[in-house]
Amino acid sequence: MKDKVRNPILPGFNPDPSICRVGGNYYIATSTFEWYPGVQIHYSRDLTNWELASRPLERVSQLDMRGNPDSCGIWAPCLSYADGLFWLIYTDMKRYEGNFKDGHNYLVTAPSVEGPWSDPVYLNSSGFDPSLFHDEDGRKWLLNLQWDYRQREGGDRFGGILLQEYDVEQQRLVGPVRNIFAGTAMKLTEGPHLYRRDGWYHLLVAEGGTGYEHAVTMARSREIAGPYEMHPDNPVLTSRQDSDNLLQRAGHADLVDTPSGETWMVHLCGRPLPGTRRSPRGRETALQKVEWGADGWLRLAHGGNTPAPEVSMPGVEQLAPAAEEIHDFTSGALPQVFQWLRTPQPERLFSLSERPGYLRLFGRESVGSWFEQALVARRQDSIHCSAETTLEFEPEDLQQFAGLIAYYNRFKFHYLAVTRGDDGDKVLSVMSCRDAWPSGTLEIVDTDDIALDPALPVRLGLDIREAELQFRYAQGDAAWQPVGPVLDASLLSDEGSGRAHGYFTGNFLGMAAHDISGRGIPADFSGFRYCRENR
């Protein structure tokens, strides 16, 4: 597309964007939650076309999420650049249900987004969504929300935005902790970012929760610690009153200035399936042009406060993503598009060297384990897509299974697996957990009528068409055959069945091996193909 940018600019699970510019280069950091390595950093020269540059939290000293519940882990990183270094602030959330949230905030630095990234400096645990502000006088300030576990009548547990100075030499927070902003009547005040412009400190926050009432609000003060006066037109950005907008759940934003002085906003959004409030692609990142008015306040350049699905970008051509990706596992390194769950010890989950040209997964704990699960997958970024892989696997009994999976979390997945039947034959099994929170009840479709040739690899495939998912299989030169019923792909989303229990990631498609006997039987995958019809 020429001269226009179609949103989102980072399709598929890429929430909570934080943006910075270094010269003519732009970088966006997004949340990864329980997926390893932690934090995605994308790079662009034009704010339009982005490529994955790094995932900096890649070793045990920086991040170990074994035991973290679903949708915990890395929440809302903040990326900035100052003093010749990139500064990355992040939360490792260990618990988020109930009255308490056990989240620990850390800082790592690097001379380049490609690293090397330092070991972390512990900051605090008072609340999540931390950000670092570099003031004009060289002082540095940490902001994060304060978590109030009490939830008083008529209120919420979001206790305002805290401010405290960070001492670079001592590598710790110093001085008083100040609560500088209680938020607006929309409540759920989080995601703070601070900017300095024309003698004002401008505070940008997310409010209303990360669902369909999400919003961006702003306030400003002459002093960093306040008092802060409200933006006269809050919320600055929201989709809450525009249910027909392609970009729903708009909120959690950050600002960047171009070398020419323009200001742009990146923000979180979601694109539910048509006619639903279910978003299998999760929360994504979009871009809006904004302008500073004569009164010194920031507003959307196109007017109003609803996000634009397309924005003007003269002279720039937005490139379409490849219609097909093929990975053959011959390079000796896991292709960058893939991630795994929680553990900083991937060598216990998979190998690319034990059988060159194959991804070998070692069967580990059960589907949805919060500790050690051999599952390697990529984001679903289109509502019309397909995935295929070829599997060589010799299970010994029913406790060993491996195959192709569409996975959101332990309560939401569809899994086409090869295993052993009671009669000893190699069989296919379709296992689903259909948003069965909190029981995790598994539904298994009997496929005993499908006789697999034990001497041949098995090709496994799936096709997603909006809310429908169909598995298929083939062996040798035979044509693809459907396996099991048409499944509900819309459940593999943040919203799922609509229960109050919420999640924050997105659907992944990938390869898995499970061995609940503890024997660690391996499964070999000789490639992975992903196709998308659109974003």
CA-wise closest residue to 291 among 276, 312, 275: 312
* Angular region, 527: left φ>0, alpha ψ -120 to 50, beta rest: left
CA-wise closest residue to 76 among 257, 247, 285: 285
345: CB partners within 8 A, 6+ apart: 60
Rounded to whole angstroms, the Cα distance separating 428 from 479 reads 16
CA-wise closest residue to 191 among 155, 213, 164, 215: 215
Rounded to whole angstroms, the Cα distance separating 389 from 371 reads 25
CA triple 480-481-484, angle to 5 deg? 140
Rounded to whole angstroms, the Cα distance separating 213 from 235 reads 11
Rounded to whole angstroms, the Cα distance separating 257 from 134 reads 15
Which tokens hold the place of 222?
Answer: 């002459």
Q: How far apart are the first and last CA of the chain?
A: 13
Which tokens hold the place of 511?
Answer: 């390869």
Rounded to whole angstroms, the Cα distance separating 464 from 306 reads 30
Rounded to whole angstroms, the Cα distance separating 219 from 217 reads 7
Q: Which long-range contacts (CB under 8 A, 24 or more apart) does 432-435 make?
A: 432/487, 433/367, 433/368, 434/488, 434/491, 434/497, 435/411, 435/491, 435/496, 435/497, 435/499
Q: Is 51 a catalytic residue?
A: no
The catalytically annotated residue of 58, 165, 317, 372 is: 372
Active centre residues (catalytic):
372
